[in-house]
Chain A
Amino acid sequence: GLGRWAEADAAVAGEVLYDLPRFGNVSLLHLTDSHAQLLPQHFREPSVNLGAGPMKGRLPHLVGEQLLKACQVPPGTPVAHALTHLDFDAAADRYGKSGGFAHLATLVKRLKASRPGALLLDGGDSWQGSATALWTRGQDMVDAARLLGVDVMTGHWEFTLGMERVRELVERQLGPLQFLAHNVKTADFGDPVFDGHTVREINGVRVAIIGQAYPYTPIANPRYLVADWTFGIREQELQKLVDTVRAQGAQLVVLLSHNGMDLDLKLASRVSGIDAILGGHTHDALPLAIEVSNRGGRTVVTNAGCNGKFLGVLDFDVRGGQLRGYRYTLLPVFANLLPADAQMQALIAGVRAPYEARLAEVLAVPEGTLYRRGNFNGTGDQLLLDALLQVQDAQIAFSPGFRWGSTLLAGQPLTREWLLDMTATTYSYATVSEMSGATIKAVLEDVADNLFNPDPYYQQGGDMVRVGGLRYAITPGAGMGQRISDLRLDGQPLDADRLYKVAGWAPVAEEARTAHTRPVWELVEEWLRAQGGRLAAREPNVPAILGALPDPGFAA
């Protein structure tokens, strides 16, 4: 589908961008990791996205110009802006905001009209990431997804609403939308918790869709929220399920995955019989599909970014029970090029009405752009770190390497809504603890291995924990326990045996729930108010990177 972009003029309007010719007879529309962003916003793609081990320098681990070159996307175009951090502030001004469910709804309607029978799949991370999703415990997103016409979904952050709420929404509110997760089982005897797959007939073709929830949910997020359930990649069970649905007559088998792209690429090389993996979790906005060979043939792997910025369109030509060909296009959702759907706009207005005043309160006006995404740090996280250090009177601050959160341009008012876009989880407790220098190093080593382990099955798909106060160096290519070096506080080497006062938020341990600490956004608000309305530009504290540069996944 990239040829079309190459031919497109930068000034070309939405009619051309979105007038995607139909191909074949089975179409899947793919939305993932919307993180509850009902309204259009900005999202700056990473300038640092290093690939570990064999993934170094390979898609999706390319950024900026290197990514555009590899995917043959002309620079200086709206699509180039959607895919990269390049000249971000000016381009964001020029092309406007992305996503928004009212604009997405218009695009989905158009595509469904041109592709009769098309299904809309949601890869998860839909019920978390905004104030209203937190305050309505996911209700706003369930209602919006049903109106959007989502047919099938799987999950990750959904589970942080807790087992009871997830069950209630899935069993009583979601229908006819189906929640699929073959890899979630009860912790006692390993019974399935959700349906694992569904078979739908599209224009006479039997299509099996299997759901794969985020396999490491109880590790990346608090286990107590899913205490009775167990997850996992479950490669062998997946193979069995694929074989079963094939034997039962499925002509096309698709995995709706929340594994993360590196993990999906490995899975695709080991499991046979899957035609396509539509993936999420790692928020890789990748404009093309990657073909992976395995003993059954080949599997197409995609990843559709985040925050409602993109809609993936995968068209298959299936004739005589055989897959003859496919086309994949990742459509950027530009709010300025897609008129808002009135029905969806009304739903969103209704959801927001009771909260509008709370959401709109201005806390400061930033002088620099505030973003999060990137392997090591962003200006938005630096704001959180600076606030934690000061309010908690700490020497060191940690902020989790989440990949969600919207981007605020310099000069745009920083509202409570934006702050919650950056921090809204069901366990955003602010913490302060005494940690030894040795423990601090161990924490950094642990997170670094979850990001840079050369085997994707051992990765967790987040970014490096953001660090305030402390300076360090990282060698991504080193082994576990060997990556972090030269830890310094105020220029002095960190003492392994000394205790330091460390602030953080969003702990996964259960003790924090009963400690009655404040949510992190209250502390940050307090700090923002003390800035007197203006917020100076933030300089992100990033580690020295050793032995890894230059790398096409790193832009200076």
Chain B
Amino acid sequence: APAHAFNKSAFQATSVQDAVKALGGSGALAESKDVSLQGPEIAENGAVVPLVGASPLPGIKLLAFMVEKNPNTLSAAFHVTDAVEANFSTRVKMAETSPVYAVAIAADGKAYFAKKEIKVTLGGCGG
């Protein structure tokens, strides 16, 4: 059995705040230069948006991707062990243009994030 079973309530959260709380984050949520989020400014396909999240901070226990305007905020959560770097990539669905977050939660429950606006557009036109 996996070390962490599927956290249903975290995936039902409809705000970054609630999702972080459900994932075990406590205290204030702080934007930090020590968390990075890479993704496109404009999504090529809202159904497949590549994200890379990372943090060099020591003691990070969990790294999660969240899309503020999706029906449910949390997309994926990765539990960090000593054997892997706090550096993960996956691809997520986005219903509309939204701020996207990489959230790193430390052992003490403190949560740090990086944020980026990713645009989902109808497309067309061009030079």
Contacts and interface: CB of A to CB of B under 8 A. Distances in A.
B126 A457 contact: no
Contact of A507 (B41, B42, B45, B124): B124
The 7 A-B residue pairs with the shortest CB-CB distance in the complex, in nearest-first order: A220-B126, A462-B125, A403-B127, A457-B41, A218-B44, A462-B126, A401-B125
A465 interface: yes
A232 interface: yes
7 contacts: A214-B126, A220-B125, A223-B123, A231-B44, A232-B44, A260-B127, A450-B125
Given A223-B45, A233-B41, A236-B38, A282 B127 contact: yes
Contacts, number: 87
B97 interface: yes
Contact of A218 (B45, B122, B125): B45
Given A446-B121, A446-B122, A450-B121, A219 B127 contact: no
Interface string A194-220: 000000000000000000001010111
Interface of B: 38, 40-45, 48, 50, 97, 117, 119, 121-127
Given A230-B44, A450-B125, A461-B127, 7 more contacts: A156-B127, A216-B126, A400-B124, A400-B125, A400-B126, A402-B126, A508-B122
Contact of A465 (B41, B43, B125): B125
Interface in A212-252: 214, 216, 218-221, 223, 230-233, 236
B14 to A, nearest CB: 21
A455 interface: yes
B97 A281 contact: no
B119 to A, nearest CB: 6
Given A450-B121, A480-B97, A460 B126 contact: yes
A220 B125 CA distance: 5
Contacts of B42: 216, 219, 458, 460
Which of B41, B48, B123, B126 lies at the interface centre, i.e. has the most chain A CB atoms within 10 A of its CB?
B126
Contacts of A404: 127
Q: Does more than half of chain B's interface fall in helix, strand or loop, or is it mixed?
A: loop
A506 B38 contact: no
Interface in A306-328: none
A283 interface: yes
Nearest to A506: B124
B127 A232 contact: no
A147 interface: no
Contact of B127 (A233, A442, A462): A462
A267 B97 CA distance: 23
A446 B38 CA distance: 23
Contact of A402 (B97, B121, B127): B127
A160 B102 CA distance: 34
A458 B119 contact: yes
Contacts of A402: 125-127
Contacts of A463: 125, 127
Contacts of A232: 40, 44
Which of B40, B48, B123, B127 lies at the interface centre, i.e. has the most chain A CB atoms within 10 A of its CB?
B127
A425 to B, nearest CB: 10
A442 B96 CA distance: 12
A447 interface: yes
Contacts of B44: 216, 218-219, 223, 230-232
A122 interface: no
A233 B127 CA distance: 16
Interface string A119-148: 000000100000000000000000000000
A233 B116 CA distance: 15
A478 to B, nearest CB: 15
B123 A219 contact: yes
B87 to A, nearest CB: 14
Contacts of B127: 33, 125, 156, 260, 281-283, 402-404, 461-463
A442 B42 CA distance: 17
A231 B40 CA distance: 9
A90 to B, nearest CB: 28
Interface string A438-472: 00001100110110010101101111010000000
A523 to B, nearest CB: 19
Contacts of B41: 233, 455, 457-458
A462 B124 CA distance: 9
Contacts of A447: 122, 124-125
A231 B45 CA distance: 11
Interface in A10-51: 33
A441 to B, nearest CB: 12
B25 to A, nearest CB: 28
A221 B40 contact: no
Contacts of A443: 122
B120 to A, nearest CB: 10
